[in-house]
């Protein structure tokens, strides 16, 4: 992977390999304290910190763990929202089994997410990150919500441009095995992200090779890489829909079952990264209330400038009409 994607000089290749070895050998910090359980439905569950304010539910992507929204005690959108007075909850999609191979993306919405959201006494606010934002729009078309805020959520998949062909090619190679397993392994999805920006994948390990071991920057890198390299598999149907119906066929949103988010019966806002390579700004839905953020796909959530997005989310929630 390193050699074929970089056309690197020997020195650069050596630095990347040193960085990779240092990452693999690095010590790991303990995760943040466990969160109280709110409720479960199927393999999905809601955990959080409760409180007396308006309920706010963070919806992660089906790809990569939900922990990006609760990375550490100090870097946690979930915990920060709770300190600001909201009843903050985090969705974890759980781990699918081959028996669930036929559950597509809308199946996740209708059989897992909607029942969990419907359990609140008053309509919650949904905050969806990445594909979780696209999914949140679909949920808002199916039950009353107080509002939907999305962060780096794709809608126009044609916005991936030349990257679409590489992802479709990857899927064609992985499809027979995924179909046989009934699941799409995380490694297939990770390879798709690498193909979107292979140079950056190597650059980050070159840079890591020069960081002070156990320094704050190195520890932050390890936390993020562990998150990016982890995650449950997708059901076969969800993977097939993602690659064939959305990326390849360029159906807006989540295919034919999702209305345009601009027509939803609740307030909506989308936060769009201007430097995102995983969900380029060109894939945004184009809502009337669009807020551009000058930080990357992950940086806008956990990077140095994260509080700009966090505060903007808080202010938007606070301005929503009261609900019963």
Catalogue all structural domains in the chain, each as residue range(s) with its CATH number. 2-29+186-232 (no CATH), 37-156+235-318 (3.40.50.1820)
Tokens of 257: 């079952």
The closest of 11, 61, 8 to 239, measured between CA atoms, is: 61
The closest of 264, 258, 277, 262 to 105, measured between CA atoms, is: 258
Give the predicted TM-score (pTM) of the model.
Answer: 0.92
Q: Which helix (H) or strand (E) holds 126?
A: strand 125-129
First to last CA, the chain: 54
SS3 305: coil
The pLDDT value recorded for residue 50 is 78
Cα angle 177, 181, 186; round to 5: 80
Tokens of 133: 């934002």
Cα–Cα distance for residue pair 269/312, rounded to 1 Å: 11
**Residue 257: which pLDDT band, with cuts at 50, 70 and 90?**
low
**Residue 251: which pLDDT band, with cuts at 50, 70 and 90?**
low
Task: Name residues whose C-beta falls within 8 Å of residue 150's C-beta, 6 or more positions apart in sequence.
Answer: 127, 128, 129, 133, 134, 136, 137, 261, 268, 269, 270, 271, 285
Cα–Cα distance for residue pair 43/45, rounded to 1 Å: 7
Cα–Cα distance for residue pair 102/86, rounded to 1 Å: 36
The pLDDT value recorded for residue 3 is 43
Of 153-162, 208-217, 243-252, 313-322, which gets the smallest average pLDDT? 243-252
**Residue 254: which pLDDT band, with cuts at 50, 70 and 90?**
low
Cα–Cα distance for residue pair 288/275, rounded to 1 Å: 20
Of 77-91, 210-224, 262-276, which gets the smallest average pLDDT? 210-224
Tens of pLDDT along 175-206? 999 999 999 998 888 877 777 777 888 899 99
- How many C-alpha atoms does 61 have within 13 Å on its Cβ side? 26
Tens of pLDDT along 3-40? 444 456 788 888 999 999 999 999 998 888 899 999 99
Percent of the chain past pLDDT 70, that is, above it, reads 93
Torsion of CA 202, 21, 170, 6, to 10 degrees: 30
Please give the average per-residue pLDDT across 100-109, as a whole number: 95
CB atoms within 10 A of CB 81: 27
Strand partners, 40: 45
**Residue 2: which pLDDT band, with cuts at 50, 70 and 90?**
very low
Please give the average per-residue pLDDT across 258-286, as a whole number: 92
């Amino acid at each position: 992977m390193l050699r074929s994607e970089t056309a690197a000089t020997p020195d650069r290749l050596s630095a990347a390999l040193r960085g990779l070895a240092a990452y693999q050998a690095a010590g790991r910090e303990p995760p943040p304290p466990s969160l109280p359980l709110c409720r479960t439905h199927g393999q999905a569950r809601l955990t959080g910190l409760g409180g007396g304010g308006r309920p706010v539910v963070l919806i992660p992507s089906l790809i990569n763990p939900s922990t990006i929204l609760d990375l550490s005690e100090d870097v946690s959108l979930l915990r920060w929202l709770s300190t600001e007075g909201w009843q903050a909850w985090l969705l974890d999609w759980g781990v699918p089994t081959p028996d669930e191979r036929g559950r597509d993306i809308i199946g996740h919405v209708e059989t897992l997410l909607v029942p969990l959201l419907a359990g609140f006494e008053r309509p919650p606010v949904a905050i969806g990150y990445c594909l979780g934002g696209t999914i949140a729009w679909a949920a808002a078309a199916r039950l009353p919500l107080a509002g939907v805020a999305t962060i780096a959520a794709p809608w126009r998949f044609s916005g991936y441009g030349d990257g679409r062909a590489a992802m479709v090619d990857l899927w064609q190679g992985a499809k027979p095995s995924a179909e046989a397993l009934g699941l799409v392994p995380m490694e297939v999805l990770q390879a798709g992200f690498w193909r979107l920006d292979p140079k950056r994948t190597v650059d980050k390990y070159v840079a890591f090779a020069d960081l002070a071991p156990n320094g704050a920057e190195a520890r932050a890198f390890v936390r993020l890489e562990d998150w990016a390299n982890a995650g449950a598999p997708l059901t076969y149907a969800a993977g097939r829909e993602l690659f064939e119906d959305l990326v390849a066929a360029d159906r807006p949103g989540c295919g034919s079952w999702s209305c345009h988010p601009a027509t939803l019966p609740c307030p909506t806002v989308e936060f769009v990264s201007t430097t995102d390579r995983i969900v380029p700004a060109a894939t945004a839905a184009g809502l009337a209330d669009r807020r551009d953020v000058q930080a990357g796909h992950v940086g806008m959530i956990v990077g140095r400038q994260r509080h700009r997005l966090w505060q903007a989310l808080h202010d938007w929630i606070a301005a929503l009409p009261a609900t019963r």
